[in-house]
A and B are shown apart, each in its own frame.
Chain A
Amino acid sequence: MDAGQVEKAQSLGLLTGTDSLCPAVLFSPLRLLVVYPWTQRFFQSFGDLSSADAIMGNSKVKAHGKKVLNSFSDGLKNIDDLKGAFAKLSELHCDKLHVDPENFRLLGNVLVCVLAHHFGHEFNPQVQAAFQKVVAGVANALAHKYH
């Protein structure tokens, strides 16, 4: 990502750390479970996931979603070395959690949709392009240590 694109992404506050994490963004992992229901396979013990309303109101999913987005935001502080920043998480997702990296791409695209939903016209094509690079970078970094 070049400096101009980083600025565009930062202009929406997403990259400025957990304090500034836009609350709407926290709903992305919940939306993932609604839009791509097979992703629920990792959350069998999380209680009621039987409908969109149940998922969006599920406190365990919300808490886990917050964890995921905070990690995402922390990792972005090292935007020039995403592979390094997410190395340990990559190993965890492969060796312990056994998550197909395709799920990282799905979450990235849901995050982009949520940002569009929240920011409307501000989320123009150029800003979207910057974020597509960010989410692709994070997904690749999380998949990097898989074997």
Chain B
Amino acid sequence: MVLSAADKSNVKACWGKIGSHAGDYGTEALERTFCCFPTTKTYFHHFDLSHGSAQVKAHGQKVADALTQAVAHINDLPNALSALSDLHAYKLRVDPVNFKLLSHCLLVTLACHHPAEFTPAVHASLDKFFSAVSTVLTSKYR
């Protein structure tokens, strides 16, 4: 699946609107993921996962910052995410199925907070973008 020019434009516009809330949304998406798909918590057994946890907040900000970088380099995701790709392949080894779960919860979070932006076409573009990021992050797994 390839990101079209329209997809890239939709993603940039939507992410631009998010602005400084990206960290909050990253945190909320993680919280939703842990709540809806409890198996994902296995990767964070060392975290305090209660609501408002500073560790989850920090991690949410990390996820958001990485996505902001990805948006900024949307024409070359493999290079932009190379270090993160290595990290996930050789150290974290998060099972690929979990990227879909977090991506879904990112979509839900954005739908909640930005209903005007979350049109069907933008929804499609965001889904493709998260899918493309996930593919890069799991590309060195084997």
Q: Which of A35, A114, A119, A121 has the most CB of B within 10 A?
A: A35
B112, A129: Cβ atoms closer than 8 Å: no
Interchain CA distance A52-B10 in the complex, whole Å = 14
The smallest beta-carbon distance between B64 and chain A, in angstroms, is 17
Contact of B112 among A34, A56, A121, A126 (CB under 8 A): A121
Contact string against B for A residues 104-127, beta-carbon threshold 8 Å, 1 for contact and 0 otherwise: 000001001110111111010110
Query: CA of A22 to CA of B111 in the docked complex: distance in angstroms?
Result: 17
Binary B-proximity of A1-44 (CB < 8 A = 1, otherwise 0): 00000000000000000000000000000110011000000000
B112 adjacent to A123 (CB under 8 Å): yes
Interface size of B as a range: 20 to 34
Q: Which residues of B contact A55 (CB under 8 A)?
A: 120
Let me know if B120 and A123 touch, CB within 8 A: no
Determine whether the beta carbon of A128 is less than 8 Å from that of B120: no
Q: Does A132 contact B (CB under 8 A)?
A: yes
Asked if residues B115 and A120 are in contact (CB atoms below 8 Å), the reply is yes
Contact status A128-B118, CB under 8 Å: no
Q: List the count of A-B residue pairs having beta carbons below 8 Å apart.
A: 59
CA distance A48 to B133 in the complex (A): 31
In the complex, the answer to whether A125 meets B36 with C-beta atoms within 8 Å is yes
* Chain A CB within 8 A of B113 CB: yes
Question: Is B12 engaged at the interface, CB distance under 8 Å to the other chain?
Answer: no
Complex CA–CA separation, A119 to B112 (angstroms): 7
CA distance A74 to B114 in the complex (A): 31
- Once the chains are docked, how many angstroms separate the CA of A117 from the CA of B31? 18
Task: Give complex CA distance A119, B118 in Å.
Answer: 13
Contact residues in A for B112 (Cβ distance below 8 Å): 116-117, 119-121, 123
Those of A56-98 within 8 Å (CB) of chain B: 56
CB distance from B36 to the nearest CB of A (A): 4
Question: A126 to B35, alpha carbons, bound, how many Å?
Answer: 7
The stretch from B72-80, B83-91, B121-129 touching chain A is B121-129
B92 CB to nearest chain A CB (Å): 23
Whole-angstrom distance between the Cβ of A133 and the nearest chain B Cβ: 8
Select one of A31, A118, A132 contacting B36, CB under 8 A.
A132
Most B C-beta atoms less than 10 A away, residue of A52, A55, A119: A52
Residue of B nearest to A109 (CB): B104
Contact B108 A123 (CB under 8 A): yes
Q: A113-B107, A113-B108, A116-B108 are in contact. Are A56 and B32 (CB under 8 A)?
A: no
The distance in angstroms between the C-alpha atoms of A17 and B124, with both chains bound, is 29
Shortest distance from the beta carbon of A79 to any chain B beta carbon, whole Å:
18
Assess the B127–A35 pair: CB atoms within 8 A. yes
Are B111's CB and A125's CB within 8 A? Answer: no
Assembled-state Cα–Cα distance A42/B31 (Å): 36
